[in-house]
Every structure is written in structure tokens, then in C-alpha cells.
Amino acid sequence: MKVTVFLGRIHHAIKLLPLVVKLSSAGYNIQFLVTSNSINIDPSTEYLHKYGISSFHHAHDYVMEHDLVGQAEAEATDLIMMGDLVPYNAPFWLASSLREAVYSLHGFSHYLDDNKPEIVIGLHENNFWVKMLFYLAKQRGMKTVSLMEGIILEREEEDLGKYSMGTDYTDVLFSWSDYDREFYADSSTIVPVGPPHLDEWISVIKRDEYGIARQNICMQYGINSAKKIVLFAPPRLDLYKGDTGRAIQALSNYCTSNGFEIVLKLHPFQGGVDQIKNSFPDLKVFSDDDASPFLFISDIVVTQTSTVSIEALCLGKQVVELDMDYIGIDQPLSRLGAARLIQGDDLSPIGELLSNPVGTEEFMKERLPLADGRSTDRIASYLQATKWIV
């Protein structure tokens, strides 16, 4: 059976490749589909080779192969010239986005017609490309599968409709938690499986191989494994609530004076990384796309509202939500007993948690009982049981 996996950006590969490995090892025919984006984020020709992927299909190749470049350009120009369009639509320039959409629609259409996959897999449908791809796949009677990137903590007013829109053209959405069902108008498409991309990390911990693995990763990144490791993993700094420079310096001073190793893991979409590194030359600063290795080696994770806090809990880590400026944290885990909230300048609770970790079993049992290292197996079993993959 032929399965197409769409890899739009590098985080798609991080989240989807564990499932790809599982299906490939079972003998299924996996094809990778990529496309370009208007501001050249995560060029596929660069990141795919990092994961040993040398063979893939590019949507724009199908535009050229079918001699559609002129038609695509004309359609894009017509759309751009229609009405009073603003020149910029974050995070893309609108003109480029429309051209990108036209190229992708033509490329996706001809890719699907030429290759005829039975199943199309994308990370999530709330995505510039995946919704288009799934729409076209459904037109052709192909099954569509997507994965969630976290859990839903609460339904804020500004998110109304966001989650249900993520299943417009999705046959099955694999979630991290059964709790997420209530946020969808049609919960029949939601299948709880847990976090697939964390399976191997969780399994290493369960196999009592943590110490050696931690030491090897620390050595790779130049981190002192003999010390307790405090990981500061803030959201993108323009979304951080408070003075990030003050927070970083305060954490650095506290950890240094108490003999802890402090590591700053920037959000993968963070800009100005070199400037941040220059501002804190004595600090270990990383901007890797995958936060998992840093979460794995840490003893405590300091953050605000971020998926890394959920991932940290899945790996059995202590979590601190930092609000030094008393601004407030969106959807705080501390209210649910899964994290410790620190407000103001007193960072001593970090040391207290390192000495006496608090239990998060109740939260994990209620919200994340499937974070057990077997999520990928559940997905493969579901697909086989539905006879989508035989």
C-alpha cells in the first residue's frame, strides 16, 4: 500500500518520522512530498538530507512537468490584482502566499493523480499546505491522517473554532489525550494515542538506560552532566510575557551561585539567535529544531505557556512557569498541579524542586495516560485494524 507523508517544515519531520519508521519497517511504500514556501523557511533540500531522506517528490516539479508554470503565474497574478489586498499577511507576504498557494494546488493535484496514494499523512490540518493537500486528497477518495502537537488545556474565546477547523478534511486525527475529544464538534475523528515523537525517549527511561544516554547527549552538547541541569525553554521571545533579558540573567545568576548547570533552549522559530548568544556569552544557548534531547537531559524545565512543558511532563521532568513581572501565564499548568508558578525575583523554588520533586501522577493519569512509549504502535495498529493499511 502506498502512503504519502507531507513534510512542510523541519518540525513536521521531527514529529512524523517515528511513525514513518514504524510503517516502513513493516514493508509499506512510503513517499515523501514537499513544497517550497515564500520566504524560504526550512528549505526541504537541506533538512531532509539531515534525516537520511534522499528521495522525495516536490510539488513544484509537478507544475513544471505538466507545463503549468505560465498558467500558475497567470492565476496568481489575477488573484493578487483582485480587490484591495493588503501587502502583508503575517507570516507571509500576501502576494507570495497567493502565488505559493496556486503553485501548491497545481503541484499537489498532479502529484496525487500521478502517484495515487491510498493514504495521505500530514502533521496537522491547521497548516497552510496540509489543508490544501487534504482537500485535494478527499476529492480523490484518499484517506487522510493527521497528528496533534500537544494537548488542549482549555478552550479560550479567541480559539473558538480553531480545533474543529483542524478536521475539515481529516479522516482521523491522532491526539495525545482522550480529554481532547470534548473540544471537537465531531469527536468520532479523534483517536487518542499519546505523543509518538517521544516514544523512544520514554522507552530509554523505562529501560533504565537513562544515565548513559544522558551522559552521551551532554557530552555532545558540551553540557556538564555531573550537575543538576536547569533548562530555560521560553516561547518565542516576542510572545514571552515579561523582560526576557532580566529573566535569563536572573536564572543564570541563580544557577551559577547554586552549582546548577543552566541551559537556554530557544524556540525553533526564534530570530536573532546570534545576537542573543552575544548578549549572554557565558551561557549555553541552543536553537536546535528538536527540543527533545534537551528536555531528556534536564532535571527541571523553566518555561511559560509552551508545548515543551507538556513534553517535559511526559518525560517525568519537573516544570516551573516563570512570571517574574507578574503579567500572568496563559493556560497555566500550575493551576492543575502539574507545575510550580514562580512570580517575582525569588527563584529558590527551583532548588527546592530539585531537592524534593513533586508528583505529577494525578495530572498524567487524567490528561496524559498514553505517554508510555507505545504511541506509534497504537497508530500503526489502528491503521491496520481499519484496513487502510493491509
Tell whether the model's pLDDT for residue 113 goes beyond 60. yes
Please tell me whether residue 58 adopts helix, strand or coil conformation: strand
Q: CA-CA distance, 17 to 160, in Å (whole number)? A: 31
In this prediction, residue 262 has a pLDDT band, given cuts at 50, 70 and 90, of very high
Cell of 11: 518540525
Domains of the chain: 2-195+372-385 (3.40.50.2000), 204-367 (3.40.50.2000)
- How much is the pLDDT for 350? 97
Provide the pLDDT confidence category of residue 128 given band limits of 50, 70 and 90: confident
Rounded distance, CA 166 to CA 163, Å? 5
Q: What is the pTM of this model?
A: 0.89
Return the pLDDT at 87: 46
Q: Which helix (H) or strand (E) holds 186?
A: none
Give pLDDT tens digits for 23-80. 898 888 999 999 887 666 777 778 888 888 888 999 989 887 777 767 767 776 666 6
- Whether 334 has a pLDDT exceeding 60, the answer reads yes
In the structure grid, which three cell numbers stand for residue 194, read together? 499519546
Rounded Cα distance, 245 and 353, in Å: 24
Place of cell 509518538: 196
Question: Which residues does 249 contact at the CB level (< 8 Å), separation at least 6?
Answer: 280
Q: Is the peptide bond before 91 cis (omega within 30 degrees of 0)?
A: yes
Biggest CA pair distance of the chain? 66
Beta-carbon count within 10 A of 94 CB? 16
| Residue 367 in this model has a pLDDT that exceeds 50 | yes
Least confident of 29-43, 133-147, 263-277: 29-43
Q: What is the mean pLDDT of residues 222-239?
A: 94
* Cα(286)–Cα(284) distance, integer angstroms: 7
Strand-by-strand arrangement of the 143-147 sheet: 57-58, 29-34, 2-6, 119-122, 143-147, 172-175, 190-192
pLDDT of 315 reads: 97
Grid cell, residue 152, equals 488542549
pLDDT in tens, 82-96: 654 444 444 444 556
pLDDT 10s digits, 163-190: 666 788 999 999 999 988 888 877 889 9
Cβ(224)–Cβ(261) under 8 Å? yes
How confident is the model at residue 150, as a pLDDT?
87
pLDDT of residue 38: 66
pLDDT above 90 coverage of the chain, percent: 58
Residue 202 CA to residue 216 CA, distance in Å, equals 16
